[in-house]
Amino acid sequence: MKASVTKGLGQGFVIEDVDLADPIGQEVRVEVRASGLCHSDLSVATFIGGEFPVVLGHEVAGVVTSVGPDVARTRVGDHVVGSLIQFCGACANCLGGRTHICLAPEVTLRTAGQPSRISWNGSPVAQGMGLGGFAQEALIHENQLAVIPDAMPWAPAALIGCGVLTGAGAVLNSARVRHGETVVVIGAGGVGMNGVSGALIAGAEKIVVVDIEDAKLERAKAFGATHVINSRATDPVEAVREITGGGADHVFDFVGARPVTAQGLRMLAKGGGLYLIGVGGSDAGVEVDAITTLTGSHRVQGVYMGSSNLKRDIPFYASLYLQGRMNLDDLVSREIGLGEIDAGYEALKDGSTARVVITDFS
């Protein structure tokens, strides 16, 4: 089968003929129908690194074509969406419903002694995040897959696995925003827009979006932003305090740059929470002043993958989309072929592009 292989740092994405093993244990073979381009894969391919050669791609949707002997809840023909969240289902955190912080995520992968799931010219190829969605087919543990309704279109379905789980989950699961509360979303990118959708679903009264590009702020209105602030033109802290009448109940930082996060902290109302989601660079973080924080009863919380339970949340968002209650269509700016990943990432640099999705695997 064809896969887009990354052979080393800065070497891009190159189509090769690779072999995919047959499913064993709880593995599921998926014919990929859509694969989203997330920034994290580009970061791995350009500066983070890891095992090479590797098939990246972690926003993946497709049809199940075969299953391993121990697969219990996934059948041939099912439409599935993958997620990088790996969970065992048996540790204390999984049993407590917090599968996103599973203590034994490695049980979803093959062990070092087993043959690699993907190989190329007889040598092993790494599989990005247990998924490897930049390929015609993928071999994935069933715990990393959720079944979606057949009616769900492929491109928006793929985006649910990372950007939607993270953005909407931050609001609905991590912060548990309640109706009538005020929400600030800093960073109106592909993930932040799902934060806006989450706030809309939660019934937030005011949804304020902060960005530095007018085109992104304009698009945010289509997702449900009630107020937008260009922080290049306006002091965002003052503007948020004015719009919310003193401060916001929840501030979600999808940017992750020190000055931006510090602004987020100053936007909080008494009892408000700041949520750290974006990582804009290696020095991302925030300094917390104890007196201001304790007198304001503020919270600062790190958010991993929207505290999501993928088996519950992926079908939930697909259902909301099919009911017309969640905007995913405006996230899909462009559809490309498997051989056009480098150009796709280039297109993402343009402010008007939200997400690029591979839908042609021929």
Ligand X SMILES: NC(=O)c1ccc[n+]([C@@H]2O[C@H](COP(=O)([O-])OP(=O)(O)OC[C@H]3O[C@@H](n4cnc5c(N)ncnc54)[C@H](O)[C@@H]3O)[C@@H](O)[C@H]2O)c1
**Nearest distance in Å: CB 59, ligand X:** 10
CA distance 295 to 281: 30
- Both tokens of 48, joined, read 């983070």
Q: Is 63 in the site for ligand X (CB under 6 A)?
A: no
Closest CA to 215 of 201, 226, 227, 230: 230
Q: Is 277 in the site for ligand X (CB under 6 A)?
A: yes
The amino acid sitting at 71 is: V
CA distance 87 to 60: 18
Q: Is 334 in the site for ligand X (CB under 6 A)?
A: no
Contact with Zn ion (CB under 5 A): which of 20, 30, 38, 80? 38
CA distance 168 to 165: 6
Segment contacting ligand X by CB under 6 A, of 101-109, 146-154, 198-206, 253-261? 253-261
- Both tokens of 327, joined, read 């905007």
Name which of ligand X, Zn ion, none residue 189 binds, using a CB cut-off of 5 to 8 Å depending on partner kind.
ligand X
Q: Is 94 in the site for Zn ion (CB under 5 A)?
A: yes
Site string for ligand X, 287-306 (x = CB under 6 A): ----------------xxx-
**Nearest distance in Å: CB 166, Zn ion:** 7
210 CB-near residues (< 8 Å, 6+ apart): 184, 185, 186, 187, 188, 228, 229, 231, 236, 240
Residue of minimal Cβ distance to ligand X: 189
The three-state secondary structure class of 32 is strand
Contact with Zn ion (CB under 5 A): which of 162, 164, 193, 276? 162
183 close to 205: Cβ distance less than 8 angstroms: no
Q: Is 210 in the site for ligand X (CB under 6 A)?
A: yes
- Both tokens of 232, joined, read 């290049």
261 close to 286: Cβ distance less than 8 angstroms: yes
CB atoms within 10 A of CB 6: 27
Q: Is 46 in the site for Zn ion (CB under 5 A)?
A: no
232 close to 212: Cβ distance less than 8 angstroms: yes
Contact with Zn ion (CB under 5 A): which of 16, 40, 119, 279? 40
Q: Is 67 in the site for ligand X (CB under 6 A)?
A: no
Size of the site for ligand X (CB under 6 A): 29
Q: Is 253 in the site for ligand X (CB under 6 A)?
A: no
Q: Is 256 in the site for ligand X (CB under 6 A)?
A: yes
CB of 20 or CB of 34, closer to ligand X: 34
Contact with ligand X (CB under 6 A): which of 126, 162, 251, 310? 162
Closest CA to 63 of 130, 116, 136, 132: 136
Q: Is 330 in the site for ligand X (CB under 6 A)?
A: no
| ω into 53 cis (within 30 of 0) | yes
Q: Is 212 in the site for ligand X (CB under 6 A)?
A: yes
**Nearest distance in Å: CB 160, Zn ion:** 11
113 CB-near residues (< 8 Å, 6+ apart): none
Contact with ligand X (CB under 6 A): which of 139, 251, 257, 357? 257
* Exposure of 129 in the CB half-sphere (CA atoms within 13 A): 21
CA distance 24 to 169: 32
Strand bridging mode 19-20 / 14-17: unpaired
**Nearest distance in Å: CB 102, Zn ion:** 3
Q: Is 278 in the site for ligand X (CB under 6 A)?
A: yes
**Nearest distance in Å: CB 17, Zn ion:** 26
Segment contacting ligand X by CB under 6 A, of 19-27, 69-77, 196-204, 211-219? 211-219
Q: Which residues bind ligand X (CB under 6 A)?
A: 39-40, 162, 166, 186-192, 210-213, 216, 231, 254-257, 260, 277-280, 303-305
